Structure 1
Amino acid sequence: METEPTPPRWLKPLNKVMVAGQRAGLGMGGLDVLTLPGRRSGKPRRTPLSVMTHEGERYVLGGFPNADWVRNARAADGLGTLSRGRKHERVRLMELSAEQARPFLRLFPIEVPTGVPIMKDAGLVAEGTPDEYEALAGRCAVFRIDPA
Structure 2
Amino acid sequence: MQRFIDRDRRRRWVTAVSQVLPVLAKLGITTGRAQVLTTTGRRSGQPRTAMVGVVPIGGQRYIFQAYPRSAWVANVRADPHATLTRGRRSSAVLLIEVPVGPRRGLLLRQLRNDPGTGRLLVASGLVTGPAPETVAAAADRIAVFRVERQRR
**Normalised-by-shorter TM-score class:** 0.7 to 0.9
Aligned-partner residue type, residue 90 of structure 1: A
Q: Is the 8 A contact 1:52 1:112 kept in 2?
A: no
Which of 17, 22, 33 pairs up with 2:20? 17
Give the total of aligned pairs: 143
Q: Secondary structure at 2:142's aligned position in 1?
A: coil
1:101 matched residue in structure 2:
103
2:88 matched residue in structure 1:
86
Q: Secondary structure at 1:48's aligned position in 2?
A: strand
Matches of 1:120 and 1:90 in 2, distance apart? 32
- Following superposition, the deviation at residue 51 of structure 1 comes to 1.2
Aligned identity (percent) is 33
- Following superposition, the deviation at residue 46 of structure 1 comes to 1.0
Aligned-partner residue type, residue 121 of structure 2: M
Range that drifts further, 89-98 or 20-29: 20-29
Aligned-partner residue type, residue 125 of structure 1: V
Q: Which has the higher helix share?
A: 2
2:41 matched residue in structure 1:
38
- Following superposition, the deviation at residue 66 of structure 1 comes to 3.1
Q: Secondary structure at 2:28's aligned position in 1?
A: coil
- Following superposition, the deviation at residue 39 of structure 1 comes to 0.9
Q: 2:11 aligned with 1:8, yes or no? A: yes
Instruction: Indicate the structure whose relative CO is greater, using CA pairs within 8 Å and at least 6 residues apart.
Output: 1
1:131 matched residue in structure 2:
133
Q: Secondary structure at 1:10's aligned position in 2?
A: helix
Q: 2:45 aligned with 1:61, yes or no? A: no
Q: Structure 1: 5+ residue runs without aligned partners?
A: none
Q: Is the 8 A contact 1:79 1:91 kept in 2?
A: yes
> Cα RMSD (Å) of the superposition?
2.0
Q: Is the 8 A contact 2:111 2:117 kept in 1?
A: yes
Q: Structure 2: 5+ residue runs without aligned partners?
A: 1-6
Matches within 5 A, 1:132-147: 132-147=134-149
Which of these two proteins has the greater Rg computed from alpha carbons?
A: 2
CA 115–19 in structure 1, closer or farther in 2 if over 3 Å, else same = farther
Deviations 1:68-118 (A, max 9, x none): 000000111x10001110111110000011002111111222334454443
CA 112–36 in structure 1, closer or farther in 2 if over 3 Å, else same = farther
What's the TM-score, normalizing by structure 1? 0.86
Matches of 2:84 and 2:134 in 1, distance apart? 28
Q: Is the 8 A contact 1:50 1:115 kept in 2?
A: no
